[in-house]
Amino acid sequence: MLAGLAYGALWFADGFWILFAAMVVLGVGEAVQHPLSSALISRAFGSGPRRAALGVYNFAGDLGKMVVVFATAAAIGMVGWQATVAGTGLLAVMIGVALLVGLAALALGGRPVQRSNTDDAPPATVGWGFGNATGFALLSTIHALDSSCRSVSLLLLPFVLVAKGADTATIGLALALVFAGGAAGKLACGLLTERVGVVATVITTELATAALLVAMIAAPLPWVLICAAPFGLALNGTSSATYGSVGDFVAADRQARAFGLFYTVGSIAGAVAPLVFGIAADLIGVSSALSIMAGLIVLTLPLAVVLGPHLRHR
């Protein structure tokens, strides 16, 4: 609902600072739902197919992004951008109200029940509720490296395509293939993780990400387009394995704050990495900067191996 109000405020944006303030509020409103929704899903599935469920959730989000982008573009062409953002804001507020009513009807997402420390009740969770802080730190580090690779790749890949002679339409096609592959990867890897485990999934997707990134740097343009969808699949697939594992390391009634910390770590890494590698690309070249990123993503492999015993112990 906060994001919806920020969209509505864009109707009145007649200068930089109003636009700036609306975008800040919009960012806050849109970011909040990620850890809260993930915590609801993780708690609902408990020790069941949690990673598959979060994979479906992530896939639905990417599908929604694609649908909304096309719908928004069509609406802007018909009624202009101001009416479009106002309509988007109204729709977001209505969705917020519907979620509130729906969660209340299902008795989900309410204020936590305060448990008393009696002989027949489990003790109340104190603090962050980490059952295995080391495992959570390893998982967060993998997530940070994965988020860095995702943001840097999407930043610099168009420059690689331009250097290979791609025009604007070809760049758009390549990115569309990456995004489509990414949406499919979130769903497929969520299901895959339930079959082969977190470690095998992370190693497979990260190794494929690094290999395909190097291949796209070296290959001619037609082969880059062929690699785009598999690259997106591997690039985004890791997230379903990592998101679904947060619940392994924290008490059930502390998952919301754990997901909040987990997403914040990834967001910071995803914001800082493009700045660092953008500067590096200007100094040593885009291909060299992306090659270094491919090398860094390989660091997730030993981290995943070290994470394995913590997951098995859990």
Q: With contact defined as beta carbons under 8 Å apart, do 292 and 280 qualify?
A: yes
Residue 98 lies in a domain: no
Confidence band of 313 (pLDDT split at 50, 70, 90): very low
Residue carrying structure tokens 């760049």? 171
Q: Does residue 273 have a pLDDT over 70? A: yes
pLDDT tens track for 241-252: 888 888 888 887
Q: Which residue has the tokens 């008490």?
A: 251
pLDDT value of position 308: 86
Total domain count, the chain: 1
Reply yes or no on whether the pLDDT at 156 is more than 90: yes
Q: Residue 22: inside a domain, yes or no? A: no
Task: For residue 261, tell me if it sits in a domain.
Answer: yes
Question: Does 33 fall in a domain?
Answer: no
- The 10s digit of each residue's pLDDT in 166-203 is 888 888 889 889 988 888 888 888 888 888 888 999 99
Count, residues in the chain: 314
> DSSP letters of 209-268?
HHHHHHHHHHS-HHHHHHHHHHHHHHHHHHHHHHHTTGGGSB-GGGHHHHHHHHHHHHHH
Tell me the residue range of the domain where 302 lies.
133-313
Does 7 score more than 50 pLDDT? Answer: yes
Q: Do 216 and 269 touch, CB atoms closer than 8 A? A: no
From first CA to last CA, the distance across the chain in angstroms is 37
Separation of alpha carbons 275 and 282, rounded Å: 11
Q: Is 34 part of a structural domain of the chain?
A: no
Q: Among 139-143, 163-167, 279-283, where is mean pLDDT lowest? A: 163-167
Q: Has residue 50 got a pLDDT over 90?
A: no
Higher pLDDT, 83 or 314: 83
Question: CATH number for the domain including 164?
Answer: 1.20.1250.20
Give the distance, in angstroms, between the CA of residue 303 and the centroid of all CA atoms in the same chain.
20
Using the predicted structure, report yes or no on whether residue 107 has a pLDDT greater than 90: no
Task: Yes or no: say if 249 and 189 are a contact pair by the CB < 8 Å rule.
Answer: no
Residue 218: other Cβ atoms inside 10 A:
11
Nearest Cα to Cα of residue 301 among 216, 233, 210: 210
pLDDT in tens, 220-248: 989 999 999 999 999 988 888 888 888 88
Residue among 49, 41, 46, 45 nearest 193 (CA): 49
Which of 242, 237, 183, 241 has the alpha carbon at shortest distance from 209? 237
Residue 51 lies in a domain: no
In a domain, 251, yes or no: yes
Give the CA-trace dihedral at 168, 170, 176, 181, to 10 degrees. Answer: -150
Q: What is the pLDDT of residue 160?
A: 92
Q: How many CA atoms lie within 13 A of 155 on its CB side?
A: 23
Q: For residue 96, is pLDDT > 80?
A: yes
DSSP 130: B
Higher pLDDT, 202 or 46: 202
Give 314's pLDDT tier (boundaries 50, 70, 90).
Answer: very low
Domain annotation covers residue 62 = no
